[in-house]
Each structure stands twice: as C-alpha cells, then as structure tokens.
Amino acid sequence: MSTQHPAREFAFDIGPVRVAPATALAPMEGITDKGFRALIRGMGGCGLTVTEFVSSDLMSRNVASAWRLAELPEDEHPVSIQIYGRDPEKMAQAAEYCEQLGADVVDLNLGCPSKAVTSGCSGSALMKEPELARRMFAAVKAAVSIPMTVKMRLGWDTDRLNAPEIAWMAQEEGADMVVVHGRTRMQMYRGSADWAAVRATKARLRIPVQVNGDILTVDDAVAALAASGADGVMVGRGAMRDPWILRKIADHFAGRVPYEPPLMDRRDTLLKYFGMLEAEAQTDRRAVGRMKKVTGYFTRGLPYGTELRETIYHSFTPEAIRDAVHGYFERLQAEGVADGFTRIHEAEVTDHTSGDSRNLTREAECCVQ
C-alpha cells in the first residue's frame, strides 16, 4: 500500500494548457471513446484525456468513422486528439481538423505497436525513420495554433533505443510535451515497462515528459515517477480495471489519503457505463459486444473474474449481462472481499500468454532501478 505523500504541486503545462493534476488517460483503441473518457473524468483526478487514435489518411478522405472517433463533447477540457499516419501533409491537414473540432492539444502517434498500424509504416514504425518523423513534426506544428505533443516507445527494438533523439527532434520542431512508454515496439506488451529507461529522454529535454506503461496502482505511479524523473503519468489499462486510479494518484500527490470507493459504487459505475454504451449503440447486439469487452477488462485480475467473464460470454442481451454483474458484486459483498480492486489476483489472469503485461501480473524482478 502507498504511504501518504507530502503535499506539493503536481501539475505541468503543455504550452498554454495546464495539466493539473499531472495525470492523463492514455489513448486506447476501442476503449477511450467519448463515454469512457467521460466516465474517467467524472471519477476525478484526471488532468488530460486523449481520444482513440485517428487515421490522418481517413480524415483527409472524409471517412465518417474517423470523424466519429474525433468527436468531442463541449465540456471535455483539456482534451487531446491523437492522430497517426506517415504522410506529413495529411498529418498536418488532420491536425487542422482536430483544432477545428475543439481539441486543446493534438498528439502524434509514434507509439502504437500493433501490426495493423506498423505494417503501414506508421505508429512506432516511424521511430525507424527519424527524418520522416522530423518532417511530420514540422508540418503539423506549422498547421495549428494549439500545442503539439508526441507519444512514443523507447525505440523499435533494444538495438535502437532512440526515444531521446526522436523526442529532442520533436521538441526542436515545436512539440510541447512527449509521452514515453517504457517498452520497445518489438516487446509489444511482453515483460515489464522499464520506467528507468525513460529518464534518458527526460534528461535531454526542456519540455515536460510523461511516463507510461504498467501503471496499475498508486505505488506504480510513485515508482514510475521516481525512476523516470518524468513530470507526470499517463495511465491506460490501469484505468480500465480501476476507474478511480487517476483520482487515487492525484490524492496521493496532494497529500490526501487515496480515495477507495465502496464496493457497490464500483458496481454502479460499471452499470452506469453500460447505460452509456447502450445509449450510443445502434443495436442490442452492438451494445452487448461492447459490454462484454468492457467487463472483460474491468474484471481481469479480480477475484472470480474468470467465472464472471465466462457467464457474460454466454449472455446475449444487455439485461442478462447486467444481471450477471449484479450477482458478481453480491457475491463479493457476501464473502467480505475488501481488496478485490486494490491488488491483483494471479489465479484470475489467464486471458493472455505468459509474460504479456495485459495479464496485469508483475515480473519477479522489478523493472525499476
């Protein structure tokens, strides 16, 4: 468990945009839609939200699905739209669209490791082409008046740990912040994020740096900041499992005891999000698919989570899924489970292969040095 931290300012600036507290919700494909971002922001402690990544190519071709990903509620600020691609002109055009849509920040994706993105030489594949990345930074910066940020990995592989160089290029071309995930692209999600390796990037730059990767608890946030020297944390999977994680981190660095919601508040939060999904889905079938996906993330690593996921997998209506969730939380309450959401239950993490960080497990050897 974390110990109380002496109160200090926990904030930084992305150009004129204040990020206070110094926490951000990471962009996650298929997860960080408008509803999920509203859910996390509503929990408190979220300094910045970021959309799912949006294809600059599809935006430039006016494809409706891309524009839907970039839609922003009027009350969501500060918010960043993340775009990806490899054509500087199309990236600049997409960035202009992001500004017109009301984004406070535009973020360039040099971090996505998925084959669907890197096979098109975008995302983290751009770390192998620094000069192209530089031209992209310059083109985007010239196209917008809002701040530009860049999210990246440590490098393509262990032989090319060039995040400090790429980040420095971004800074020199006008970037106002960078985020570094503590893995290479070739690691994908295997092993543990090397927070200490982010320190080399922080040492090279004048602009703020956020550390990202494997931040699942308050203790992780404390350790990641200490190891990296970063100015803030960006949390992805940790927020899917515990929507209050950013609030807890903010509480800790404000000198408050981290908030721990009652068990039934957790149930009500999940059910509230289900309502958001149903309202946005055009059919029950689509709503059920999203509800299954969310519940899978929300319960991974929790007591009896495997059983709940199995039940929901065989549920085919929103009502059946809600009933299963009610039953799950009633079981936890009846058995007096008090730490189900504050520690990881190793017996419940079987969805990915051994060594995959999406299992929410910890390596025997800590990556923090």
Q: Phi and psi dihedrals of 160, rounded to 5?
A: -135, 70
Element spanning 212, H or E: strand 209-212
Which residues are within 8 A (CB) of 174 and not within 5 positions of it... i.e. 6 or more apart?
137, 138, 141, 148
Residue with tokens 């990037």: 201
CA distances from 153 to 31, 33, 112, 196, 323 (A): 20, 23, 8, 13, 41
The β-bridge partners of 234 are: 24, 212
Number of Cβ within 10 Å of residue 313's Cβ equals 12
Helix axes 318-334 and 284-299, enclosed angle (nearest 10) = 20
Contact 52, 63 (CB under 8 A): no
Do the strands 12-14 and 17-19 form a parallel or antiparallel pair, or are they unpaired? Answer: antiparallel
Contact 182, 202 (CB under 8 A): no
Active-site residue flag, 112: yes
Among 46, 112, 366, 367, the active-site one is 112
Which residues are within 8 A (CB) of 37 and not within 5 positions of it... i.e. 6 or more apart?
25, 49, 51, 76, 79
Closest-CA residue to 304 (of 277, 324, 275): 324
Burial of 306 (0-12, 13-18, 19+ CB in 10 A): middle
Do the strands 48-50 and 209-212 form a parallel or antiparallel pair, or are they unpaired? Answer: unpaired
Catalytic residues: 112
